Structure formats: C-alpha cells, structure tokens
Amino acid sequence: MKKPDFFKRTVTISNTTYTKRVVIAFVLFAVLVTGGVYAWQWLNSQPKDDLTLKPLRKTLEANEKIFKGALDSNSRVKEYPISAAVKNVKVNGLVGIQDTIDAAQWRLQIIRAAGDTLKVSLDDIKQLPKKEVIFDFKCIEGWNQVTHWAGVPVKTFLEHYHLQGFEQMQYAGLQTPNKKYFVGIDMKSFLLPQTILCYEMNGKPLPMKQGFPLRLIIPVKYGIKHLKCIGTMFFSNTKPRDYWAELGYDYYAGF
C-alpha cells in the first residue's frame, strides 16, 4: 500500500496567484449556490399535473417503469400464519362507502363494451375457488398491519367468465356503486396471484366499513388502491381515473 503523502500536497505560489485562486473559487461557489436556488425556484414554478409538479409527476412515472421490471407474473409478497393476523383491523377510508348494501340485489358489473355489461352476483363469486391471503397491509400514511382476507383471485375470476381477452389491456378500473371512489390498476399488478376479489375478512363476511360485499385486495399496492365495495370493473389502455392520484399521489402506488 502506498504510504500517505498528504503533507506533500503543497505548492508554492505567488501572492497574486493565491488571491486569484481564492477569488475564483468563491465566485464559482456563489454561482453554484445561485444556480441551486434558481433550479429550486424553477421546479416549484412548474405547472401541476393532478396537484403534483410536472417534473416530479414525470419522475414518479419513470420510477414505476424502473421498478416494475422486477415484477413478474408470479411475484408474491410474504404471507403469514393466521395467528399473526390482527383481530382489530383498522378502518381508514370511508369515501364511497354506503351505510347499507342489499347483498341480494348487488351485482358486480363488468363492462365488456359499451352497452354490454356482465353482472355477477356475490353467490356466483363465492362458487369460484377461494384463496386466503394473509399479508402485511400497508397504508400510504405509514402504518402496517398483518391482516387476513379471502376471495377469488382476479385471474381465476377473469378466466371463469371468459374475460382473459382484457388481460392484454394496460389497466383495469374499479368504482364503488355510487362512483364516489375509483381506482386504476396496472394490469401486471392486477393479475398477480395474490390479487383477489375479496369477500371475507378474518373468516367472516366483510364488515360494511371494510367494503361489503366485495373489495379488492392487492398486496403489492398501498391501501389506497384496495377499493372497498366494488360496483363496476372495466378495462382500458389509458389510465382510468384514480381518486388519490388526482389528489397528488403516485398513480402506481406499488411496492
């Protein structure tokens, strides 16, 4: 290993050269500081795209492209034993949630084309193969809870109702029956094996505040995407409207 020669890093220069160097360095430093301040002001003066500064929105979209590559059609999040699931599941968002829903009248409406809507009852959904998902649910606010859900995998559901053709589309859109809450989900995440149309929590039918009769559970995304009380499902190659993305959040919102 080379011996340190730090104290040999000396030069002898004239007083004028020294002064010149110091002045130039401080001028460049001032230029750098001014440039930084201007860059910050420029960024903050940019127009907004759904409440988020455009360059930052573009970066969020680029981040999605960079990170989504690591997801493949079989990606799974960690699952837990039932004993790890909490009994008191947090209720955090009630936008779009109604006080009562008549399960007998309720239908999941899948828009296949304009004027062509498939209507599926809760009983029919319950006939399909049931999958339990016990995972660490994460809210965009920062808290997390291991929770226990059950329902039919989205992929199984689509295949059963001959809707596989829509798997080629870019996005799926979901809305509550009153259309007050709505999300858009990229197809890759929507079709993952742990993404379920969920009708049970902790082995019992979903409580009203957890989205009775049917909600989305999509473990690779923040809670804002787990729409409660699904009314309508549709498919699109453009981004469906998304409640929280319109309020400034990342559209992808995935892990």
CA contacts within 13 A on the Cβ side of 204: 6
d(CA 22, CA 222): 52
Number of residues that this document lists for the chain? 255
Question: Terminal CA-to-CA distance of the chain, rounded, Å?
Answer: 44
Binding piece for another protein, criterion CB under 8 A, among 47-55, 109-117, 153-161, 168-176: 47-55
Q: What are phi and psi of 151, to 5 degrees?
A: 175, -165
Question: Is 95 a binder of another protein (CB under 8 A)?
Answer: no
Specify the stretch interacting with another protein by CB under 8 A; choose among 71-79, 99-107, 121-129, 174-182.
71-79
Interface residue with another protein among 65, 78, 87, 204 (CB under 8 A) is: 78
Query: Are residues 170 and 228 in contact, defined by beta-carbon separation less than 8 angstroms?
Result: no
Sequence letter at residue 133: V
Q: Do β-strands 144-153 and 171-175 pair in parallel, antiparallel, or remain unpaired? A: unpaired
The verdict on 42 binding another protein (CB under 8 A) reads no
Contact 167, 237 (CB under 8 A): no
Distance from C-alpha of 17 to C-alpha of 238, rounded to nearest angstrom: 62
Site for another protein in 182-241 (CB under 8 A): 219-220
Torsion of CA 201, 173, 182, 214, to 10 degrees: -20
Q: In the complex, what is the shortest distance from the CB of residue 110 to another protein, in angstroms, rounded to a whole number?
A: 27
65 counts as binding another protein under rule CB under 8 A: no
What does the per-residue mask of binding to another protein show for 138-177, with x meaning CB under 8 A? xxxxxxx---------------------------------
d(CA 210, CA 200): 9
Q: Which residues in 101-140 contact another protein (CB under 8 A)?
A: 136, 138-140
Site of tokens 């759904």 = 50
- In single-letter form, the type of residue at position 98 comes to Q
Q: Cβ 79 to another protein, closest distance in Å? A: 12
Which part of the chain contacts another protein (CB under 8 A), choosing from 18-26, 82-90, 115-123, 232-240?
18-26
Q: Compare residues 145 and 232 and give the one whose CB is closer to another protein.
A: 145
* Least distance in angstroms from the C-beta of 186 to another protein: 14
Using the contact rule CB under 8 A, the part of the chain among 62-70, 168-176, 197-205, 235-243 near another protein is: 62-70
Residue 84 binds another protein (CB under 8 A): no
CB atoms within 10 A of CB 30: 10
Instruction: Give the interface with another protein as residue ranges (CB under 8 A).
Output: 2-15, 18, 21-22, 25-26, 29, 32, 36, 40, 51-53, 55-57, 59-60, 63, 67, 70-71, 75, 77-78, 136, 138-144, 219-220, 244, 247-250, 254-255
